[in-house]
Structure 1
């Protein structure tokens, strides 16, 4: 009987710990938002919302006009569809906001879901190539023959090594999850 009492108390303690962990996980997002709001950490997101009282950020003064970096764009498709950048290269200054469009077309006779995975050359450029908007963050479904264009918005960090003059951004576009069922009528 003594052992059963110990087991019952241990079970009770474990249930309290598990309940506490669940409550902490559930409260983590509101707690994080409250801390960010109180400390002003999430200032960038507030200024993008155009809320009354939200501070507007000053124009970017961190552009290094003494350097020009050539960014080359490459597109590889793993499947029967068309995928290409609108331009093959772009000259940008470090710290300057730049945008390039990529075009996708489903040349198959069925719907498909696909995603792109980026790679960089030279490898050291990866840490300094900051994408603010990219189609590679999501999966997309394309109907037969459907054509879409999506942007890549990026900034190259001025801290990039001075000897890097060219960066190649390459995307491999591949189908996700095999065949996608047809859209409901």
Structure 2
């Protein structure tokens, strides 16, 4: 093959590589609007949420389209203790919409002069609410060890399923806090929970 033919082949190969490189660049550049369109179509607006915090853009909270603003549910918080310690919610009740993420803090103090390990058992009233009450974060998932006099605060983050029956307007979330190693108490009923509420305060 002559030098002239070899140079022609090299030029053609270079041209093809340039075209491929430009095509790859164009595809990568187009991924952002394509991804944005997919996110908006599916409701998974991850990219848009990140862009809200960019400088020069107004900061707005993401809108949860799953919240049923036509309904309001009262959630009451009840505590029971099995032992000499303090355990109570920061608030006694909140009003939420189904689908709305809500966080409530609980306060606990070991008033004994010894270290203890404890855990909480939740229960719900009415009982059918348990299938529609989703806890995303809860101290009841774990056991805790507290030193004498130690105080702790724990969150409960929850969402009520919009499929909750329409006739349920109030849910009572009860916790029984007991020492690990002692006999495990039965989950409280709503009636017994309210009766012992003063002991937890």
Structure 2 matches for 1:37-48, cutoff 5 A? none
| Pair 1:177-2:181 in alignment | yes
Structure 2 matches for 1:63-142, cutoff 5 A? 63-142=67-146
Q: Which runs of 4+ in 1 moved over 3 A?
A: none
Q: Return the TM-score normalized by structure 1.
A: 0.64
Structure 1 unaligned segments of length 5 or more: list them: 1-57, 179-185
Q: Name the residue aligned to 1:26.
A: none
Aligned residues: CA RMSD? 1.5
Supply the distance in 1 between the matched residues of 2:129 and 2:70 (Cα, whole angstroms).
Answer: 18
CA shift for structure 1 position 60: 1.8
The count of aligned residue pairs is: 123
**Secondary structure, aligned partner of 1:76:** strand
Supply the distance in 1 between the matched residues of 2:63 and 2:134 (Cα, whole angstroms).
Answer: 18
Supply the distance in 2 between the matched residues of 1:81 and 1:100 (Cα, whole angstroms).
Answer: 20
Q: Return the TM-score normalized by structure 2.
A: 0.59
| Partner deviation per Cα, 1:34-87 (whole Å, 9 max, x = no partner) | xxxxxxxxxxxxxxxxxxxxxxxx742110000000000001010000000000
Higher Rg of the two aligned structures: 2
Q: Name the residue aligned to 2:58.
A: none
CA shift for structure 1 position 157: 0.2
Structure 2 matches for 1:128-167, cutoff 5 A? 128-167=132-171
Structure 2 unaligned segments of length 5 or more: list them: 1-61, 183-201
